[in-house]
Chain A
Amino acid sequence: MDKKNHQHETIYRELENIVGSQDITDKKVDKIVYSVDYFWIPEMLIDRGCNPPMADYIVYPETTEEVSRIIQLANTYKIPVTAWGGGSGSQGGALPIDGGIIIDIKKLDKILKTDEKSLIVNTQSGIIAQNLEWKLNERGYTMGHFPASIFCATIGGFLAHRGSGVLSTKYGKIEDMIIEMEVVLPTGEIIRTAPVPRHAAGPDLNQLFIGSEGTLGIITKATFKIHPIPEERRFRAFIFKNLHSGYEAGRKIMTSRLRPCTIRLYDEVETKRLVKRVLGIDREGVYMVFGFDGDKQMVDLEERTAIKICQNGGGEDLGRKGGEHWWEHKYDFFFPPYMFWIPQMYGTMDTVATYDKMEKIFEELKKVIEKTYPQAYVIAHFSHWYEWGCMGYVRFIVDGPPQHPQEARKLHDGIWDTGINTILANGGMVNEHHGIGIKLARFMKKQYGPAFTVMEKIKQALDPNNIMNPKKLGFGG
């Protein structure tokens, strides 16, 4: 028996002692599947017949204590630990690029308590989000969190990368929904953040771990705000002649301090291609859908005001039908064959900025990418609107990328470099809700400047052996 095999077998047995023989695998058939998430690079590698880096073990703990013991073991042997939820991340955040242990959290899937007096729910983090939503719906409640990944992602995954859903404009991003969390630290200690998120007892620990992508620990339980299912929820669509007039209407709705649950504005190309293909609405110009929900009288009032804003901005009212249709088919965009997929090369540069900058960021991005890479085209929609700005869901697509993996990667990374540098130069954020992972790790220092040392020092203090999801989020490994 060679040393490597001996070590592998030893660690396997120790992990098996923690989780049981049913909850561990080191089979290659499984490891291949865990080597690919929704990031284009590993998908491309598999497509080209190459193997992305694989984990050595995959474990399925059923309790927080098991998670803690696994992490303690990983510290003993100084091997990497990567948390895996639904595997639907687009940034490579859950990929075991240095091997080691994958902790699949999906067996931590129990809803522990629904407090109808305080309107909060406490759950383990591995529950698939739609399962939680269905359970809440049975009791008349909703999370209000509806990302396209709701059918496959875990709520732990949402927290790990600061996700948002299509109704975030009213219900907030996941970080706005949190009450408190249980986290297993990189050295195995189990901690709870403060019982409520509004206090004056120092910095907010929730916000330290939300978005940390498994580099500062593994979130095992969380308590969220929930809401009664609204009496009324209604959507309405408009067509604007150009992106600017639609953008201005959206901005005015938000700066008028109306509280839509959503505003989505599709540029000319997305309107022509995607809205037509998925929703069957075949119109020139830009498509906008907005929605309001809550008490019927409030919805009536807010909707009336928003309609007036859109009409004053030159929008043509497509009525409720044009909007409801989007709501009914909101996830269809992400099923094959409607989403972008291999053989296409694609990437989503979801950036966020204040209203004074966002339009220019998109204009520059489109101009620079399409000029530098004539084989690429850029499309966008604008969603997740705030009182001060909004997100641009900017995508580049290359229909016939190179077959050779290295050539393909060179082009892919080149477009990303150009795109993110353009975003940063124009005052945008490197990302809004997809997280950083390995895809954007190299931009973190540029994004934060000297402030990134704060994160690095926290990482060093919490994870002295640097075992938690190495090379992600801009941390080394």
Chain B
Amino acid sequence: MLIEKYRKTIEACRFCPMCKVVCTVGNITKNEANYPRGKALILFTILKKMREFDEDIVERIYQCAICGLCKDWCISDYDIPELIMAARADIVNSGKIPSRVLKIYENIRKTENPYAMVNDEKISAVLDKEIRETGKRAKILYFIGDTAFSHPEIFEATIKIFNYTGIDFTILPKKNRGVELLYQLGFRKEAKRLAKENAEVINEADAEVLVTSDADEYLAFKREYPRLGASLNPDIKIMHITEYINLLLQKNKLSFSRKINKSVTYHDPSSLGRYLGIHEPPREVIKAIPGIEFKGMKWNRSRARSCGASGGLLFTNPEIAAKAAENIIDEATEIGAEIVVTASPLCRQSVGDCKKLRNSSIEVYDIAELIVKAF
């Protein structure tokens, strides 16, 4: 079993409650089995052959945002996120995949998208136009990612930014299929296949810079592709959209003509912030927009709260994810922000859905959407 590799983590965490105060899911359900101690304890009983993966254990293992706040909090860096991903891969290998998870997998297999959406006319119109106009080869290759596909306003805004700055860019001719979600849900074989296919297409595009606004896929490029043996051409620089825009700002290749006279806060996606350490570029971009009063979250950067979008939680346990997103809305409201900006379409979806559900007056945007408002 893959979890055997994490025996040290299991043995350290199985009786240790020291990260309880930061656990995203545990602090929503309050069930001891949802905290890192509980998860490690359960997995110890599997290692010890006291139990096998059954429906209930599997349910608990998927009730985790893999947000990594526990690891960041732990002074010894015991890696619960890696343990949970290994446990999920073991579950997939054992064939005991819960129906909610299997449905996501089937969606990806059938439609190449976890949301089971087909490429509707509106999306095609935008994409075809850009591909035709810019041609295949360009300096910048824009990788849209699964979630932005289901929110055309996000990729439309991103394309608008490229066009506004006159950047020579192209979009992958095929759908940009996500790897991170599959990997986090335990489907490593499928993740490997897609990563290799994506890598091939990306390498063929022969771009200088691969830019994505999808923080989770950015994590996949940086962390999962090398693990899965999907080799991206090392000459292609990989950047998150916030890093790229920040670079444009620093080189005076981007300026804003309109003010946004509102107070704005930034929600760090765990994939971008905690896992990859990209904290400042998004903040610098937001602060560069005239008129904005930036208000920092109390929980920020590597200690940012999870909005419940990650780890597949938004798909497998939307009711728990919604409560995690509520924490973000509450914190933003408490500090007096009128707008919550994030740099991940998945976080934008989680927090945005919650805003609608709560009927909150707070506006929620992906960073690209905010930027185009200042053009």
> Which residues does A use to contact B, with CB under 8 Å?
25, 27-30, 32-34, 36, 38, 43, 46, 49, 51, 58, 60, 84, 86-88, 104, 106-107, 126, 128, 130-131, 138, 149, 151-152, 331-332, 334-338, 341-342
Contacts and interface: CB of A to CB of B under 8 A. Distances in A.
A332 B42 contact: no
A336 B50 contact: no
A43 B17 CA distance: 13
B250 interface: no
Given A32-B42, A46-B45, 5 more contacts: A28-B51, A30-B60, A33-B42, A336-B16, A337-B12
Nearest to B15: A43
Contact of B15 (A27, A34, A51, A342): A342
Given A29-B57, A32-B41, A152 B18 contact: yes
B48 A49 contact: yes
A152 B21 contact: yes
Given A30-B33, A342-B15, A36 B41 contact: yes
Interface string B231-245: 000000000000000
Given A46-B41, A335-B75, A34 B21 contact: no
A87 B50 contact: no
Nearest to B42: A29
28 contacts: A29-B56, A29-B60, A30-B60, A32-B33, A33-B37, A36-B15, A38-B15, A38-B17, A43-B15, A46-B44, A46-B45, A46-B48, A49-B49, A87-B32, A88-B17, A128-B20, A138-B298, A149-B17, A151-B18, A151-B20, A151-B21, A152-B17, A152-B18, A152-B21, A332-B75, A336-B76, A336-B78, A341-B15
A58 B31 CA distance: 9
Contact of A29 (B20, B33, B298): B33
A261 to B, nearest CB: 23
B358 interface: no
A334 B14 contact: no
A414 to B, nearest CB: 23
Interface string B36-71: 011001101100111100101101100000000000
B247 interface: no
Contacts of A130: 21
Q: Which residue, B41, B57, B78, has most C-beta atoms of chain A within 10 A?
A: B41
List the 7 closest pairs (A to B, CB-CB), nearest first: A152-B17, A152-B20, A106-B30, A336-B12, A33-B38, A29-B56, A33-B32
Contact of B76 (A107, A152, A335): A335
A327 to B, nearest CB: 15
Nearest to A49: B48
B75 A34 contact: no
Interface in B235-280: none
Contacts of A34: 32
Interface in B4-20: 11-20
Contacts of B50: 49, 51
Contacts of A335: 16, 18, 74-76
A331 B18 contact: yes
B56 A46 contact: no
Nearest to A50: B50
Contacts of A128: 20-21, 27
B32 A28 contact: no
Contacts of A28: 51, 56
Interface size grouping (class) on chain B:
35 or more
B38 A86 contact: no
A84 B15 CA distance: 16
B12 to A, nearest CB: 4
Contacts of B18: 151-152, 331, 334-335
A32 B22 CA distance: 22
Nearest to A148: B18
Given A33-B41, A151-B21, A60 B30 contact: yes
Contacts of A152: 17-21
Contacts of B21: 128, 130-131, 151-152
B46 to A, nearest CB: 11
A107 B33 contact: no
B12 A32 contact: no
Contacts of A43: 15
Contacts of B17: 38, 86-88, 149, 151-152
Nearest to A43: B15
Contact of B30 (A46, A107, A131, A338): A107
Contacts of A60: 30-31
Q: Which residue, B14, B27, B76, has most C-beta atoms of chain A within 10 A?
A: B14
A70 to B, nearest CB: 15
Interface string B73-111: 011101000000000000000000000000000000000
Contacts of A332: 75
A128 B19 CA distance: 11
A32 B59 CA distance: 15
A152 B21 CA distance: 6
Contacts of A27: 56
Contacts of A29: 33, 42, 54, 56-57, 59-60
A445 B37 CA distance: 35
Q: Which residue, B17, B32, B42, B44, has most C-beta atoms of chain A within 10 A?
A: B32
Contacts of B56: 27-30
A331 B19 CA distance: 12
A29 B30 CA distance: 14
Contacts of B75: 332, 335
Contacts of A126: 30
